[in-house]
Structure 1
Amino acid sequence: MVEEMDQAAFNLAAYVLAAGRTRADRPALIVPGVQRWTHGALADAVERRAGGLAARGLMPGDRVLLRLGNSGDFPVTFLACALAGLVPVPTAAGLTEREITRMAALVDPALVVAEAGIARPTGADAVAPGALDAAPLPPADWARGSADRLGYIVFTSGSGGTPKAVAHAHRAVLARRAMWDGWYGLRADDRMMHAGAFNWTYTLGTGLLDPWAIGATAIVPPPGAVDLAALMRAEEATIFAATPGIYRRLLRGDLSGLDALRHGLSAGERLPEATRTAWHAATGTDLHEALGMSECSTFVSGCPERPAPPGTSGYAQPGRRVRVVDGRLQVATDDPGLMLGYWADGAPVPVAGDWFDTGDRVTMRADGAIRHEGRADDLLNPGGFRVSPQEVEAALANLPVHEIAVGCTRVAGGAEVLAAYYVGPLLDEGLADAHATARLAAYKRPRLWLRRKALPRNANGKLRRRDLA
């Protein structure tokens, strides 16, 4: 962590912008063909927006709901809120009016900042981000205080049910330092390209805040970008971050000439070993996976200095304390990256006890490497047998398809059976059955092979397993 910082007079936005002030002319944000900001321009934009927010007379700690799309307005407004003592609440742009109305009710925002064309809560008045810009908020007026105070709120993806509001402290941005060496191998001269949308917290943290906090460059593809490999070449990306699905898509195209690339990062869902192997064969670079969640960001990963052994996600990052109890991964509640609690009735509900159960099913090797077996609430139950879908998907990963996922479906007569849903060329089902028979017990083998144009995913690219059927 960062001992030299005064954590009694801390502000996450001031921390993120500090390194860039020493290299103000270096590029901070590149959206190819759309936007290029230096670190100096980024700091100016944040300070002007913070000035506009401060002028609105909001109270310290008021929540500000962000309904912003894939542009620099998102991180600028997020950081400006923090600088002005407000609590930003980022949300995915693709949410419907009904969805965002329900979520907004949980956090009771004092202000909604929205771009045109993005749904906002029913009946809410909203201000456009550009209308907030005003005279810069001077450093003497930046909101500082304990690093343990409320800093921002994010929502879980809702993949297991209703999204929850997760309250994080300002200190969470300091805890991210564990990822610099424990996952990224991040350097000040890096050019980090993230394939996700601006308003996803994976992009916000890994793709923007962490590069800026070390004075590096963040690259985000413009909306609708198709040829990500070409953008990597043109912008000389040194680190690329995405979900496993993006890597599978890239592997179907031309990956030559990525001369600047040092390695890739993967998160969001389990990285198939076959994808990691194929990426290395195509690019000569490694893929480093991280395991995490909205409540604690990432806390287990491989990294350039200590790659994850095959079949595992890696090791606990430096400074993280984890343990495995009854096959479930737990994180120490004194971890500075752990949430303050789920937001309810105007305050975070503190996490009780000494350990937080992540809900991830894992196994830990003798050397500490952790293999992710899926979510505790993700187990399937065909025919009364408990089946891990991730285990089955790993066994089927070498079939000649673009991607594959397993789920349960009901057949005539009401029986629930295991089905494999796949995207790509039509499978020879006899060969697919033989492949599964050689690798899986009978109760784990798919009974149906169902071809689809695409697998159901949420706005962040995570598989919606419940929607497979």
Structure 2
Amino acid sequence: MSSGFSIEQADDLARGFVPFPADRAAQYRKAGYWTDRPLDSILTDAAAAWPDRPAIIDAAQRYTFAELDAAADRAAGGLTRLGIGPGDRVLLQLPNSCQFAVALFGLLRAGAVPVMCLTGHRTAELGHFAEVSGAVALIVADRAGGFDYRDMAATLVAQHPTLRHVLVDGEPGPFVAWSSIRDGAGPPVHRGPADPDLPALLLVSGGTTGLPKLIARTHNDYVYNATACAQACRLTGDDAYLVALPAGHNFPLACPGLLGSMSVGAPTVFTDDPSPENAFALIDRYRITVTGLVNALAKVWAQACEWEPVLPTTLRFVQVGGSRMSPEEARFILERLTPGLSQIFGMAEGMLNFTRPGDPEDVVVHTQGRRMSVHDEMRVVDEDGHDVAPGEEGELLVRGPYTLNGYYRDDDANARAFSPDGFYRTGDRVRVFTAGARAGYVEVTGRIKDVIHRGGETVSATDLEDHLHTHPGIYAAAAVALPDPYLGEKICAAVVFRGRPITLAELNTFLDERGAAKHARPDVLTAVPSLPMTAVGKVDKKQLVARLV
């Protein structure tokens, strides 16, 4: 059975994909960053080098590298027999578990392109992903976190005819059981060579304007992303990585995450319960040495070290990202939780900055790291797009061997998000230090895009406001970030009501019925008589936040 790409399949996948320019692609190959390997070769190589080592572990299962390799092959065969083949986009929405990894590699082996959905996404987001990508299938759990994904799947199938297949991990209801695809017998899949310059998978953006966008990551750039990050973090086969954040995120997937750990023969442990009690027990049981956390969760873990009976003593290195830490927060985590801390400032779009093992404490607590690759190009510009003086603040623009060149099938977003010479406008305000031990390191000083960083998730204020304005009882609304000691920022909806104010519970029920993402719902609802406006007629959010605080 073959899964090689036909010309038509390759053309369909490439439609709306913005490739790397030929001259830069040649530079990255010459530098040895790009090796023209398919993304799933990370597993193939690990199974050949360390067949009997544990590869993935969760509360119910474990696989060695050889067992995971064989399971991926079986899943690829089942997917191919079902009619899912090269270039087909498939929405992958599974919780943190071994089956997430089996499904991911099974799709890659079949030549399909996973769309890495988060478990908190609902019909609004998944419907958007299906429409933009032209996805033909959806893989979900039966239930997780009290939510029945089969009901959502039924709605999506009714609304999006391209979704021909729904595969359910667990009790399938009216759909196909994932176990029947994963464990089915049949001939092996013999895939033709994947085009390493085409998308291997589609990540989702944090959502800065409207619904999240799709980020095409190629085989070449994502293999480099994972392996270079593992090398920079000094990851070895003696380490063990804990996936405590949603596995579909770029951070726990490839920074270094699951893929980076696999590249050096280290096991990955999955958990869908990141509470200190559960996580510390897993860290102790499996001798976890490395994990990635958002700022809010890292602080909770550090505080819990005061009272938890089992402490995470094997941790040597914790990456913390999602929002900027203050020096005091960084020192607190170093003192309480781990002897090694890496601040990481990055994005699913590509560019990564992080502090390294061995960096001086002054650098670790006062910066958000330095670029991963010497070929990462960084510009810091003013409001007119002109480069600022060295060391001055401005918006960060980037391009490089693992940074996208355009969102997938979104010309309007690309016109806004990229400079004429191909630099991605991050929307983050930074300064790059020029002298001393911090030279070349980045400090994030603010942001330009209208987003809220809640517990590590980037929430589009515009998207939430669009939902709010559909409520018949709301005349005007603005979504703003308020400081929160645990979440970093919490979501506040400031609302001008038409009549009787509604409660926060009523509002979130309304947002749930609209299919808004779980993590994008307000924590605070405040009734206001009017919204302050700027001279050009826009909501003055700085003044609004000042009033609310």
Shared fold (TM-score greater than 0.5)?
yes
Q: Per the alignment, in what secondary structure is the counterpart of residue 154 of structure 1?
A: strand
Aligned to 2:409: 344
Root mean square deviation, CA, Å: 3.6
1:271 equivalent to 2:325? Answer: yes
Aligned to 1:12: 39
1:30 equivalent to 2:67? Answer: no
Q: How does 1:144-183 map to 2 (within 5 A)?
A: 144-158=193-207, 160-176=209-225, 177-182=227-232
Aligned to 1:365: 433
1:315 equivalent to 2:370? Answer: yes
| Greater CA drift, 41-50 or 61-70 | 61-70
Would you say the 8 A contact 1:78–1:90 is kept in 2? no
Q: CA deviation at 1:254?
A: 2.3
Pair 1:15–1:462, CA change in 2 (3 A): farther
List per-residue Cα deviations over 1:365-398 (Å, max 9, x = no partner). Answer: 1111110123212499xxxxxxxx99x96xxx9x
AA aligned opposite 2:352:
F
Pick the aligned partner of 2:242 from 183, 186, 193.
193
AA aligned opposite 1:331:
V
AA aligned opposite 1:211:
S
Pair 1:16–1:3, CA change in 2 (3 A): farther
Pick the aligned partner of 2:356 from 293, 303, 309.
303
Aligned to 2:460: none
Q: CA deviation at 1:345?
A: 7.3
Could you tell me how far apart the structure 1 residues matched to 2:264 and 2:519 are? Answer: 26
Pick the aligned partner of 1:53 from 66, 75, 79.
79
Could you tell me how far apart the structure 2 residues matched to 1:264 and 1:459 are? Answer: 27
Q: CA deviation at 1:356?
A: 1.9
| Greater CA drift, 233-242 or 299-308 | 299-308
Pair 1:287–1:408, CA change in 2 (3 A): same
| Greater CA drift, 244-253 or 13-22 | 13-22
Would you say the 8 A contact 1:364–1:371 is kept in 2? yes
1:289 equivalent to 2:330? Answer: no
Q: Per the alignment, in what secondary structure is the counterpart of residue 366 of structure 2?
A: coil
AA aligned opposite 2:378:
V
Could you tell me how far apart the structure 2 residues matched to 1:221 and 1:77 are? Answer: 17
Could you tell me how far apart the structure 1 residues matched to 2:85 and 2:487 are? Answer: 49
Q: CA deviation at 1:16?
A: 3.7
Query: Mind listing any 5+ residue stretches in structure 1 that lack a counterpart?
Result: 381-388, 413-456
Pair 1:463–1:210, CA change in 2 (3 A): farther
Would you say the 8 A contact 1:28–1:37 is kept in 2? yes
Q: How does 1:60-459 map to 2 (within 5 A)?
A: 60-116=86-142, 117-118=148-149, 119-120=152-153, 121-123=156-158, 124=163, 125-128=165-168, 129-133=178-182, 134-135=184-185, 138=188, 141-158=190-207, 160-176=209-225, 177-182=227-232, 184-205=233-254, 206-223=256-273, 226-227=276-277, 228-254=279-305, 257-283=311-337, 285-296=339-350, 298-306=351-359, 308-319=363-374, 320-326=376-382, 327-332=394-399, 335-344=400-409, 353-366=421-434, 367-378=439-450, 402=486, 405=489
Would you say the 8 A contact 2:120–2:517 is kept in 1? no
Could you tell me how far apart the structure 2 residues matched to 1:214 and 1:156 are? Answer: 28
Pair 1:234–1:361, CA change in 2 (3 A): same
1:41 equivalent to 2:67? Answer: yes
Pair 1:301–1:466, CA change in 2 (3 A): farther
Q: Per the alignment, in what secondary structure is the counterpart of residue 449 of structure 2?
A: helix
Would you say the 8 A contact 2:431–2:442 is kept in 1? yes
Would you say the 8 A contact 1:75–1:198 is kept in 2? no
Could you tell me how far apart the structure 1 residues matched to 2:109 and 2:292 are? Answer: 27
Q: CA deviation at 1:402?
A: 5.0
Q: CA deviation at 1:143?
A: 4.0
The structure where helix makes up a greater share of residues is 2
List per-residue Cα deviations over 1:14-59 (Å, max 9, x = no partner). Answer: 234312321111111121x322211111111111111112223445
Would you say the 8 A contact 1:11–1:170 is kept in 2? yes
Could you tell me how far apart the structure 2 residues matched to 1:404 and 1:216 are? Answer: 31
Could you tell me how far apart the structure 2 residues matched to 1:242 and 1:349 are? Answer: 30
Q: CA deviation at 1:174?
A: 2.4
Q: CA deviation at 1:460?
A: 7.2
AA aligned opposite 1:178:
A
Would you say the 8 A contact 1:50–1:136 is kept in 2? no
Q: Per the alignment, in what secondary structure is the counterpart of residue 331 of structure 1?
A: strand
Would you say the 8 A contact 1:169–1:340 is kept in 2? no
Q: CA deviation at 1:157?
A: 2.3
Query: Mind listing any 5+ residue stretches in structure 2 that lack a counterpart?
Result: 1-27, 143-147, 169-177, 383-393, 453-479, 497-515, 527-544
Pair 1:373–1:407, CA change in 2 (3 A): farther
TM-score, with length taken from structure 1 = 0.75
AA aligned opposite 1:158:
G
Pair 1:466–1:59, CA change in 2 (3 A): farther
Could you tell me how far apart the structure 1 residues matched to 2:139 and 2:492 are? Answer: 41
Would you say the 8 A contact 1:11–1:83 is kept in 2? no
Pair 1:136–1:41, CA change in 2 (3 A): farther
Would you say the 8 A contact 2:110–2:191 is kept in 1? yes
Q: CA deviation at 1:291?
A: 1.0
